[in-house]
Amino acid sequence: MKLKVKILKFLAGRPIAVLNNSTANHINVHVGERITLSKYADSLVSIVDVSKDLIGKEEIAVSQEIIEALNIKEDDEVEVSLATKPQSTFYIKKKMDGGVLTKEEIYSIIKDIVDNALTEAETAYFVAAVYKNKMSNTETENLISAMVSVGKRLSFDGIVVDKHSIGGIAANRTTPIVVSICAAAGLTMPKTSSRAITSAAGTADVIESISKVEFNTEELKAIVKKTGACMAWNGILGLSPADDKLIQTERILALDPEAQLLASVLSKKIAVGSKHVLIDIPFGTSAKVSKEKAQELKKKFEYFGKRFGLNLRCVLTNGEQPIGNGIGPLLEIRDVIKVLKQEKDSPKDLEEKALFLAGQIIELCGKTKKEKGLELAREILKSGKASKKFYEIIEAQKGSVPTIAEIDKKLGSHKKNILAEKNFKISQIDNKKINLLASVAGSPMDKGSGLYLYYRIGDKVKKGDKILTIYSDSKTRLENALELYEKFNPLI
């Protein structure tokens, strides 16, 4: 049927058309389904939204994407009809019913996700199907290839190394230290990181408190060329656009199907041209995975790493408690700077873990002999070379490294010390609870908010000792965090 075009000024992201609900009934299309719009020889498929009274029966409101694709203007007439479903929806149904997907079927789903041809609900069905029915090794391998094939690929000179942590541990901000040590050792480390997904802050959120993190690929290449490394946000680089969309859908229920976790990490490492890749898998009661699960995951990472020609190593690390004292962007960058500058009160657990990881990378790429990596990493840190490299990278990213005193001034203006109510020995510090508490205080949105932890598991605390400080930019959020603390008891 023919309908008159009304221009929808603001909506974007994918073609969207709004029909009067009586018109929608006539065409037999429902919210979230698709129609084909055509004008002369041009046509495109759009998702439908339905409105009762904001648009007439003879009209169709269309988003900018449609205006541009069909080259139409207000009050033009377009031909509208029910569109058929993309073929990939049938493959999603197949997976939902326990079928095994072929290479072509997986490519078709991934391509349609990137092209916005699938709706949020359809993408959710795909995630649910993979979550429930898992993927075989062959399917996972095809998923990784498909994800790489729809994204951009970069390449860098030199010995290109990378690291990734599967996350879940509060603070644990080793990346800036590891990157600085490795780059100072002469390796190329084009590190891209996510923002907070399940934790209180991601590396991108933390670095953003002192420099830019959003770059296009040209800018990124220039930074790496100049300094040997970068610490950028992976969200706008388009390295694995299918993964970016799948992660959005997974976040909704905090689902993390294993095949997608593997594909997410590996597709980004392949896209960025990394050759030597270290994967950190922290395990523990309040970590993402148990020791058993960590061992399984290690095998899978190594298997797929080999399939894609990566020199990949997994390390299983203790994830029983947060690593470092600060949780929240500025509180974490303060810990990082203290370690790099070798300040007396720097968090030793963070330093040791960063040295261990950097040492592993140095050995993995053959820069030193076996068991000599840690030694070299420590030497680079102690000598001040890592600190110097960190300043270089931050400057190349149009930022500047603040002093500890400058950071202290920027911490949340509302703060509250939590005191021990009795003498006790700390037996548990729950990562998930600590992360949630820091989020409620305002992290990562408000850079100066978060927590400061004074103790570790095994430490003895006396009644009245300061065990925790909560920082927030807002009085209300501080109160919310305190209320949650009472309810939660993240530290016992």
Q: Which residues are catalytic?
A: 256
Whole-angstrom distance, CA of residue 354 vs CA of residue 360: 10
Output the six-digit token pair for 218.
């040209």
Whole-angstrom distance, CA of residue 223 vs CA of residue 445: 26
Whole-angstrom distance, CA of residue 360 vs CA of residue 377: 9
Distance in angstroms between the alpha carbons of the first and the last residue of the chain = 67
Taking CB under 8 A as the criterion, the residue among 176, 235, 284, 490 binding a copy of itself is: 235
Applying CB under 8 A, does 475 fall inside the site for a copy of itself? Answer: no
Taking CB under 8 A as the criterion, the residue among 93, 111, 134, 456 binding a copy of itself is: 93
Output the six-digit token pair for 196.
């907070």
Closer to a copy of itself by Cβ: residue 305 or 328: 328
Q: Are 448 and 412 in contact (CB under 8 A)?
A: yes
Nearest-CA neighbor of 397 among 221, 198, 213?
213
Environment class of residue 298 by beta-carbon count within 10 Å: exposed (0-12), middle (13-18) or buried (19+)?
middle
Taking CB under 8 A as the criterion, the residue among 100, 121, 222, 404 binding a copy of itself is: 121
Taking CB under 8 A as the criterion, the residue among 4, 39, 69, 120 binding a copy of itself is: 120
Applying CB under 8 A, does 278 fall inside the site for a copy of itself? Answer: no
Closer to a copy of itself by Cβ: residue 13 or 309: 13
Min separation Cβ 346 and a copy of itself, Å: 28
Taking CB under 8 A as the criterion, the residue among 180, 249, 360, 397 binding a copy of itself is: 249
Closer to a copy of itself by Cβ: residue 28 or 427: 28
Whole-angstrom distance, CA of residue 454 vs CA of residue 125: 44
Closer to a copy of itself by Cβ: residue 205 or 280: 205
The dihedral through the CA atoms of 190, 196, 199, 203 has a sign that is positive
Applying CB under 8 A, does 363 fall inside the site for a copy of itself? Answer: no
Count of residues that bind a copy of itself according to CB under 8 A: 53
Closer to a copy of itself by Cβ: residue 248 or 489: 248
Applying CB under 8 A, does 64 fall inside the site for a copy of itself? Answer: yes
Taking CB under 8 A as the criterion, the residue among 36, 43, 51, 413 binding a copy of itself is: 51
Q: Are 143 and 136 in contact (CB under 8 A)?
A: no
Applying CB under 8 A, does 119 fall inside the site for a copy of itself? Answer: yes
What is the footprint of a copy of itself within residues 7-26 (CB under 8 A)?
A: 8-13, 18, 25-26
Taking CB under 8 A as the criterion, the residue among 38, 40, 42, 54 binding a copy of itself is: 54
Environment class of residue 324 by beta-carbon count within 10 Å: exposed (0-12), middle (13-18) or buried (19+)?
buried
Taking CB under 8 A as the criterion, the residue among 56, 131, 479, 484 binding a copy of itself is: 131
Min separation Cβ 165 and a copy of itself, Å: 19
Question: Using CB under 8 A, which of the segments 71-79, 248-256, 355-363, 413-421 binds a copy of itself?
Answer: 248-256
Applying CB under 8 A, does 124 fall inside the site for a copy of itself? Answer: yes
Taking CB under 8 A as the criterion, the residue among 36, 43, 69, 96 binding a copy of itself is: 96
Min separation Cβ 124 and a copy of itself, Å: 4
Q: Which residues contact 298 (CB under 8 A, 6 or more apart)?
A: 279, 281, 314, 316
Closer to a copy of itself by Cβ: residue 18 or 166: 18
Applying CB under 8 A, does 89 fall inside the site for a copy of itself? Answer: yes
Closer to a copy of itself by Cβ: residue 129 or 361: 129
Min separation Cβ 460 and a copy of itself, Å: 36
Residue 490: cis peptide before it, omega within 30 degrees of 0: no
Binding residues (CB under 8 A) for a copy of itself: these are 6, 8-13, 18, 25-28, 30-33, 49-55, 61, 64, 82, 89, 92-93, 96, 119-125, 128-129, 131-132, 195-196, 235, 248-249, 251-255, 444-445
